[in-house]
Amino acid sequence: MTSAKNYYVLPDYRLLVIVYIIVAFGISMVYSASIQISKTLYDNQYHIFRSQLYWLILGTVLLLVTLNLDYRIYLKFSRLLLVVNLILLALVLVPGIGTKVAGSRSWIRYREYGFQPSELVKISLILYLAAIFNKPKINVSSFLEGYLPPLIVSTIAFFLILLEPDVGTGFLVAIIIGFLFFVSGIRVKFLTITLFSLLPFIYILISRVAYRKMRLLTFFNPSMDPADKGYHLLQSIKCFTTAGLLGKGIGNGVQKLWYLPQAHTDFIFSVIGEETGFIGISVLLFLFMYMLARAMRITMRAPDKFSFLVGAGICIMWSVQIIINIFVAVGLIPITGLPLPFISYGGSSLVVNMISVGILLSISRSIRPETV
């Protein structure tokens, strides 16, 4: 990290360009994966595609706003942002305000449009923890002063997400929290004690809920329940086993035609595999790796501790979500409901990720010119 002086350079346009290349590919795949469901549910094959375009426009506007804001403004407002987000997470649990979708009450809706506060809480927590650990007088080696206060606040957000229930996002948030605590200098023994204390809770969370227990069992042997809990995984794997080197061509996939559930959201990577084959998947993975490399480059050259922690939080948020979504699609880990960043259909996810890009670009504007 360099000293926090006021330097001005152009933002990292290579990050911006690669993000929009990924988004453009994602928009095309959302259209391909959603044609049938849009026709059936909305009598318009462009309905879901058009909705994603609207969210992209909003995300672009917010990206430009955050790009042109001095990132240090979040030092003043990070606590307020998190408090507002925690209130929204609590309101989601109130019948009549929160809307239940696919078994989880995680949406606040107005007419046909909805927003997931659990998506926004990821970036809110990153900004909050970065601001807390940026304080010059914080004693990160102290359990009571440096570790416990931010842990309590983070735990509140974590459990509100679990109450929806949204275990996938809760798991992601827990990783973000643990990572930021670690890179901030919190003692490893504090984190280890916390992790081991959570193991009984994790066991109960899985073993005492029938569908989660069955989902775990069918992960190891999906053929034991091929018509229900193992169905998603079997159909997803079929996308890759029938794709070949070049795939069936964009728009020509079969599994999205009511065989593969959530084809345009959580399982869009499977559709990409079926329609673009090994080559298409390889290109997408290269684009993701380049995007993450640019984000990490900005982070490692961040002008101060706060921007370093914010950049690190965004990098881990993207990395873990990409890995989990892909691993779920190919059957390497049990199914969790996490979208593929910048690709899957979902306005909340897309908007929050675009805001994250804007924040990173704002940080890149303050890097000393000789280190860009």
Structure tokens at 198: 């959570």
DSSP-derived pairing of the beta strands 113-115 and 98-101: unpaired
Instruction: Please determine, for residue 284, whether its predicted confidence score (pLDDT) is greater than 70.
Output: yes
Structure tokens at 48: 């879901």
Instruction: Please determine, for residue 138, whether its predicted confidence score (pLDDT) is greater than 60.
Output: yes
Q: Look at residues 317, 281, 314, 276 and name the one whose alpha carbon lies nearest to residue 295.
A: 314
Cα–Cα dist 122/157, whole Å: 9
Per-residue confidence band for 292, with pLDDT thresholds at 50, 70 and 90 = very high
Per-residue model confidence (pLDDT) at position 311: 97
**165, exposed or middle or buried, with CB in 10 Å at 0-12, 13-18, 19+?**
middle
Instruction: Please determine, for residue 367, whether its predicted confidence score (pLDDT) is greater than 60.
Output: yes
Per-residue confidence band for 370, with pLDDT thresholds at 50, 70 and 90 = low
Instruction: Please determine, for residue 216, whether its predicted confidence score (pLDDT) is greater than 80.
Output: no
Per-residue confidence band for 5, with pLDDT thresholds at 50, 70 and 90 = very low
Boundaries of every domain in the chain: 13-371
Out of 19-33, 127-141, 267-281, 289-303, which region has the weakest mean confidence (pLDDT)? Answer: 127-141
Reported in sequence order, the residue ranges of the chain that DSSP labels E, i.e. its strands, are: 98-101, 104-110, 113-115
Q: Look at residues 324, 368, 309 and name the one whose alpha carbon lies nearest to residue 78.
A: 309
Q: Which residue has the higher pLDDT, 179 or 167?
A: 179
CB 303 within 8 A of CB 4: yes
- Cα 255 to Cα 238, 267, 313, distances in angstroms: 8, 11, 35
Per-residue model confidence (pLDDT) at position 103: 65
What does the mean pLDDT of the chain come to? 88
pTM of the model: 0.92
Which residues have C-beta within 8 Å of that of residue 299, sequence separation ≥ 6?
308, 311, 312, 314, 315, 360, 363
Instruction: Please determine, for residue 8, whether its predicted confidence score (pLDDT) is greater than 60.
Output: no
Instruction: Please determine, for residue 343, whether its predicted confidence score (pLDDT) is greater than 90.
Output: yes
Per-residue model confidence (pLDDT) at position 372: 47
Per-residue model confidence (pLDDT) at position 366: 87
Instruction: Please determine, for residue 3, whether its predicted confidence score (pLDDT) is greater than 50.
Output: no
Cα–Cα dist 20/31, whole Å: 16
Contacts 24+ apart (CB under 8 A), 236-242: 236/260, 236/267, 236/270, 236/328, 236/329, 236/330, 236/331, 237/330, 237/331, 239/270, 239/271, 239/273, 239/274, 239/329, 240/270, 240/273, 240/274, 240/330, 242/274
Q: Which residue has the higher pLDDT, 208 or 174?
A: 174
Percentage of the chain lying above the pLDDT 90 cut: 60
Which residues have C-beta within 8 Å of that of residue 362, sequence separation ≥ 6?
11, 66, 67, 68, 69, 70, 71
Per-residue model confidence (pLDDT) at position 2: 43
Per-residue model confidence (pLDDT) at position 67: 95
Per-residue model confidence (pLDDT) at position 160: 92
CB 239 within 8 A of CB 255: yes
Structure tokens at 205: 């969370």
Structure tokens at 214: 């069955």
Per-residue model confidence (pLDDT) at position 173: 94
Gyration radius (Cα) of the chain, Å: 21
Per-residue model confidence (pLDDT) at position 82: 95
Average pLDDT over residues 296-323: 96
At residue 7's C-alpha, the angle toward residues 293 and 2, to 5°, is 55
Question: For the chain, what's the residue count?
Answer: 372
Q: Which residue has the higher pLDDT, 156 or 103?
A: 156
Per-residue model confidence (pLDDT) at position 225: 63
- Kindly report, residue by residue over 54-104, the tens digit of the pLDDT: 999 999 999 999 999 999 999 999 999 999 999 999 998 888 787 777 667
